[in-house]
Chains A and B, each alone.
Chain A
Amino acid sequence: MPRVVFTSHLQRHVRATESDVSGGTVAAALEAVFRAQPQVRGYVLDEQGELRKHVFIFVDGRRAGLGDAVRGESAIHVMQALTGG
C-alpha cells in the first residue's frame, strides 16, 4: 500500500497522521487519507479540489501531481513549497 507522509510543518496547524492507504493515483491515496482524517483535506486541497498552490507532492522522491500513478510500495510526501513564504 502507498504510504502518505505529511510535512512536520503541517502538524503545527492540524493533526495529520502518516498512513498506509490504498489507491492507484496520488488523488486516490489522498482521498483515502481524507476519509480517515477529514480535517486534513482543506490544508492540502483548495475548495475546487485542486492541490494548494504552495503545497508540493513528491512520489518516491519526484515532484508529482494529483493525477500521477503510485505503486503499492510508493512513498507520497506532502510538503510545503518555499514559494508559500
Chain B
Amino acid sequence: MPLYVGTRKGLFIIDEGRRAIGRPHFLGDPVSAVLAQGASIYAALNLGHFGVKLHRSDNRGDSWTEVAAPAYPPKPASPPEGTDDKVPWKLVQIWTLEGAGQDLWAGTIPGGLFHSNDRGASWTLVRSLWDRKERAEWFGGGYDQPGIHSVCLNGKQITIAISCGGTWRSADGGASWQLAGKGMYAEFMPPEQRDNPNIQDVHRLAQCASQPDVFWAQHHNGVFRSVDGAARFAEISAIAPSKFGFAVAVHPKNPDTAWFVPAVKDECRVPVDAKLVVARTRDGGKSFAVLRKGLPENAYDLVYRHGLDVDASGERLAFGSTTGGLWLSEDQGDSWRCLSQHLPPIHCVRFG
C-alpha cells in the first residue's frame, strides 16, 4: 500500500517498501488533497495564480490527466429575503477528497460539499447542505472562509465536519442534512454561542471503519468522542501532553484506539516543550500513552489536520509536518522512523 504525501511543493508517492521518497509529481504546485480510489489516484492542486485544479492518474502516477474541478454555480444577484450571504461562491480550495464505490466527494472552502459519480469528469454542489440557512453562521477557521475538511462515508450515511460550522450528518446519501455534534464547546466564542453546535471548530473528524457509530474529533478546544453516530460528543480530557492539535486517526477495527499529535494552543502551535510526540489511547480515551521513540526534540513541527493517517491494518501510521518531516510507524506508534526531514511543508499524508 503506497503512502501519498501532499505538500506545498508537490505530491510524493512512497513505495510499499517505504524507503524511497521517489520523484515529485506536480513539483512546485501546492497539493491540498489526495485520494487513491479504485485503480485511480486523485490529486487536488491549489495553484497560486490560476485556481484550483484536479488531476487523476490511472497508472499509479506515471501520467496525470486534468479532470474537472468542482465549481460553484452562479451566485444569485439578489439573495432570498432575510439572508445575507457574504461568502463568494468561488472555489478556494479542495480541502478533502473521499470516495466509495463510484462516488467521489470533495469537501471545499468556502463550505460546499461536491459529489461526482463519473470519476471527476463533472461535479455537483450538494445544494441540500449549501442552501441551509444555518450556513450563514459558519465562519473561517485558519482561512478566510469556512471549509469542509472531513467527509466520513458509511453507505448512505455521510458525516462531515466544518471549520467553523460544526458536524453535520446525512442518513440518505446527502439528500438531507441534520446538524449534529452536540456536546462540543467553543471557548473562543461569547457565552451565548459557546455550546452552539453550528459554530464549532472541529479541526478533524475521524470515523471507526468497523464501528461507524464511533467518531473521534480533534477540536480547537480539545478531544471529543461520539458513540452514537456523531449526534453527541463527550470531551476526552485525559489527552496528553495538551488537548490542542489538528490531526486524529482511529484504528479501523478497534474504536477505542485513536492517535493524536498534540501541540501548544492556540496560536502558538508548536510541540509541547519542543518535543514532537504522538498521543495514543487504547481504552476509549480513559488514558493516553505519549509516544516519542524515534521522534525529535528541539522540534517545532506542526501536523496539520490531514497530516496523520493509519492504514487499513491498524498497525502502520504515518504523519508529516509543516517543516517537512515525515515519520512512519509499523507498530501502532510505539516507535517511529523518519523517512525525511527535508520535504516541503506537508499538507496531507494518506495510505493508498
* A residues at B contact (CB < 8 Å): 9-10, 13-14, 39, 42-44, 46-48, 52, 54-55, 80-81, 84-85
Contact = CB atoms under 8 A, between A and B. Distances in A.
A47 B71 contact: yes
Interface in B60-84: 66, 69, 71-75
Q: Report, as a range, how many residues of chain B touch the other chain.
A: 10 to 19
Contact of A84 (B49, B72, B73, B90): B49
Interface of B: 47-51, 53, 66, 69, 71-75, 88-91
A19 to B, nearest CB: 18
B48 A47 contact: no
Nearest to B53: A13
B305 to A, nearest CB: 21
A69 to B, nearest CB: 25
A81 B69 CA distance: 22
B55 to A, nearest CB: 10
Contact of B49 (A9, A39, A42, A48): A9
Given A42-B53, A42-B71, A85-B48, 12 more contacts: A10-B50, A13-B47, A13-B50, A42-B51, A43-B50, A43-B51, A47-B89, A47-B91, A48-B72, A52-B50, A80-B49, A80-B50
A80 B49 CA distance: 6
A55 B90 contact: no
A42 B52 CA distance: 9
A48 B74 contact: yes
A53 B326 CA distance: 33
Contacts of A44: 50
Given A46-B90, A48-B90, A55 B49 contact: yes
A10 B165 CA distance: 35
Contacts of B90: 46-48
A84 B91 contact: no
A14 to B, nearest CB: 8
Contacts of A80: 48-50
Contact of B89 (A10, A48, A55): A48
Contacts of A55: 49-50
A36 to B, nearest CB: 18
Contact of A48 (B50, B66, B88): B88
A53 to B, nearest CB: 9
B92 to A, nearest CB: 10
Of B47, B66, B72, chain A has the most CB atoms within 10 Å of the CB of B47
Given A46-B90, A47-B89, A47-B91, A52 B75 contact: no
